């Protein structure tokens, strides 16, 4: 599961004593985190960027290939790791510091890494695919026989089902064309969703502004980046990952101040008022422990990090103790899907970086809507993509496309330029790739849906065309 825990575990069931001791450690580490922040034992830089990209292994029939263990062994790259299902894997990048060439550096690294993965897959007579939900995936692919060979995935599956009193998970997604209804007795439907997760290091003094800016930007990002319209050959939301992921690990935890039920996968319960410590305090008080894995050898916040990794906010705080004993604080943005191409992913990263820089520096002057409107914007954008009508700044209501073209993109471009990003790189990824994608309404979701409906709902033909087009250029050119 996403950002769960790096180490392997030995068992999948736990005693009451395990939960009790873990809860004590978690409480102590939550206070320790507050002490780090209070005593300023934190890296004070904002802007270093990294990412995780999840992808699929596919066979000669363009169907999921459950062989990630052999693939990863052949690749022998510590930054490429298994994901929940045997047909998923995850690529990680090193952190990229703020520099004029940050976008081209990320692009070059991702292209090289993707090519190495592709070469390894070809040696196994397989291929790889970047897409929010694999169009050729079937419900019967998602069973525990296809779970990756990691005990922690079995443990998490068991604990989520236990928290639901072993009631089946209900998947119900209403699309404009089709409607999906099914039950699952495990969390494997989550493995259908593959994403691009962006990590941005943030100084503690900047965190609340950047977190709130990321919340506000989420609807625009998911609308512009949508690439998951199909689930088991059903035409649903532009970004069907969002409801599918939320329903795949549905576990209600508490009711927010506005009356919304907050689950383990969540947009959140409100804006951050002052400090990242608020979110970790909410973790401690409102989210029951799922995996009480005790650890005496990792860094000083091991239990806090593990618990945080079992709470899937679409915008999530991350912490890490560096080799100098200082705290690193990062913001992880999780709303974007994988693909279609590396170029599209870097354009999405540029849009995220530029939007949050702009919004964080001008947040209060821009008169943002209250949190409930921002939360609803996110789900509206996930459903309708660039055509979604959003409640925006200063009480304005407009489509996601109009907001992006007339305000969001110009502001993001100006912010990156002010930060010292290379003008030609910003112009390419935002003025060309992203602007053309939005102006032409040519997201991955739009292209997939159009091809699917125009070709008798043939997912094999769709996969063939999608894989070919990915070799030709970014999605706005398809």
Q: Structural domains in the chain? A: 16-477 (3.30.590.20)
In angstroms, the CA 78 to CA 61 distance is 29
Q: What pLDDT score does 351 carry?
A: 98
In angstroms, the CA 444 to CA 337 distance is 10
Q: What pLDDT score does 62 carry?
A: 98
In DSSP terms, which residues pair with 197 in a beta bridge? 52
Compute how many other C-beta atoms are within 10 angstroms of the C-beta atom of residue 123.
11
With a CB cutoff of 8 Å and minimum separation 6, the contacts of 316 are: 3, 308, 331, 332, 334
SS3 state of residue 298: coil
Q: Which two tokens stand for residue 477?
A: 């050119």
Burial profile 63-100: b = 16 or more Cβ within 10 angstroms, e = fewer: bbbbbbeebbeebeeeebbbbbbbbbbbbbbeebeeee
Closest by CA to 200, choosing from 93, 63, 344, 340, is: 93
Q: What pLDDT score does 12 carry?
A: 59
Q: What pLDDT score does 2 carry?
A: 41
Q: Give me the torsion for CA of 21, 24, 30, 31, rounded to 10°.
A: -140
In angstroms, the CA 441 to CA 7 distance is 42
Compute how many other C-beta atoms are within 10 angstroms of the C-beta atom of residue 41.
14
Closest by CA to 424, choosing from 95, 48, 104, 110, is: 104
Which segments within 338-396 are labelled E, that is strand?
389-391
- pLDDT in tens for each of the 478 residues of the chain? 444 444 445 555 788 999 999 999 999 999 999 999 988 888 888 999 999 999 999 999 999 999 999 999 999 999 999 998 999 999 999 999 999 999 999 999 999 999 999 999 999 999 999 999 999 999 999 998 998 866 777 888 888 888 888 899 999 999 988 999 999 998 999 999 999 999 999 999 999 999 999 999 999 999 999 999 999 999 999 999 999 999 999 988 888 888 888 889 999 999 999 999 999 999 999 999 999 988 766 668 999 999 999 999 999 999 998 888 889 999 999 999 999 999 999 999 999 999 999 999 998 888 999 999 999 999 999 999 999 999 999 899 999 999 999 999 999 999 999 999 999 999 999 999 999 999 999 999 999 999 999 999 999 999 999 999 999 999 999 9
Q: What pLDDT score does 260 carry?
A: 85
Q: Which two tokens stand for residue 309?
A: 């990794």
Angle, nearest 10°, between helix axes 16-38 and 277-286? Answer: 160
Q: What Rg, from alpha-carbon coordinates, does the chain have?
A: 21
- Residues 394, 395, 399, 400, CA torsion sign: positive
Q: What pLDDT score does 6 carry?
A: 44
In angstroms, the CA 317 to CA 308 distance is 8
In angstroms, the CA 89 to CA 128 distance is 10
Q: Which two tokens stand for residue 341?
A: 């191409």
Q: Give me the torsion for CA of 382, 387, 390, 392, rounded to 10°.
A: 120
Q: What pLDDT score does 294 carry?
A: 81
């Amino acid at each position: 599961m996403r950002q769960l825990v790096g180490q392997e575990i030995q068992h999948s069931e736990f005693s009451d004593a395990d939960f009790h001791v873990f809860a004590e450690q978690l409480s102590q580490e939550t206070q320790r985190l507050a002490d780090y922040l209070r005593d300023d034992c934190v890296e004070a830089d904002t802007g270093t960027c990294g990412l995780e990209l999840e992808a699929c292994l596919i066979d000669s029939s363009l169907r999921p290939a459950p062989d990630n263990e052999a693939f990863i062994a052949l690749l022998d790259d510590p930054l490429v790791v298994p994901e929940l299902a045997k047909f998923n894997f995850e690529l990680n990048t090193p952190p990229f510091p703020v520099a004029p060439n940050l976008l081209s550096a990320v692009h070059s690294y991702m292209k090289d890494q993707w090519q190495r993965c592709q070469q390894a897959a070809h040696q196994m007579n397989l291929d790889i695919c970047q897409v929010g939900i694999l169009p050729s995936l079937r419900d019967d692919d998602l069973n525990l026989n296809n779970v990756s060979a990691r005990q922690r995935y079995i443990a998490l599956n068991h604990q989520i089902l236990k928290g639901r009193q072993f009631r089946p998970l209900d998947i119900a997604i209403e699309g404009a064309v089709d409607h999906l209804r099914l039950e699952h007795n495990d969390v494997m439907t989550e493995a259908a969703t593959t994403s691009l997760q962006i990590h941005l290091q943030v100084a503690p003094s900047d965190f609340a502004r950047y977190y709130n800016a990321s919340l506000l930007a989420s609807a625009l990002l998911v609308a512009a980046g949508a690439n998951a319209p199909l689930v088991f050959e059903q035409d649903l939301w532009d970004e069907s990952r969002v409801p599918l992921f939320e329903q795949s690990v549905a576990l209600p935890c508490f009711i927010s101040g506005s009356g919304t039920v907050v689950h383990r996968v969540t947009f959140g319960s409100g804006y951050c008022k002052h400090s990242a410590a608020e979110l970790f305090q909410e973790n401690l008080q409102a989210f029951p422990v799922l995996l009480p894995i005790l650890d005496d050898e990792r860094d000083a916040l091991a239990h806090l990090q593990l618990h945080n990794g079992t709470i899937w906010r679409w915008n999530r705080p991350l912490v890490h103790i560096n080799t100098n004993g200082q705290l690193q604080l990062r913001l992880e943005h999780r709303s974007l899907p994988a693909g279609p191409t590396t170029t599209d992913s870097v354009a999405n990263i540029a849009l995220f970086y530029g939007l949050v820089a702009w919004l964080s520096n001008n947040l209060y002057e821009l008169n943002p809507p209250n949190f409930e409107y921002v939360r609803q914007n996110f789900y509206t954008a996930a459903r309708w993509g660039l055509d979604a009508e959003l409640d925006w700044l200063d009480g304005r209501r407009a489509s996601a496309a109009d907001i992006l073209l007339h305000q969001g993109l110009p502001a993001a471009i100006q912010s990156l330029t002010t930060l010292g990003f290379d003008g030609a790189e910003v112009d390419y990824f935002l003025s060309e790739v992203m602007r053309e994608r939005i102006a032409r309404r040519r997201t991955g979701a739009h292209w997939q849906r159009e091809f699917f409906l125009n070709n008798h709902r043939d997912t094999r033909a769709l996969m063939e065309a999608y894989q070919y087009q990915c070799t030709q250029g970014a999605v706005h050119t398809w």
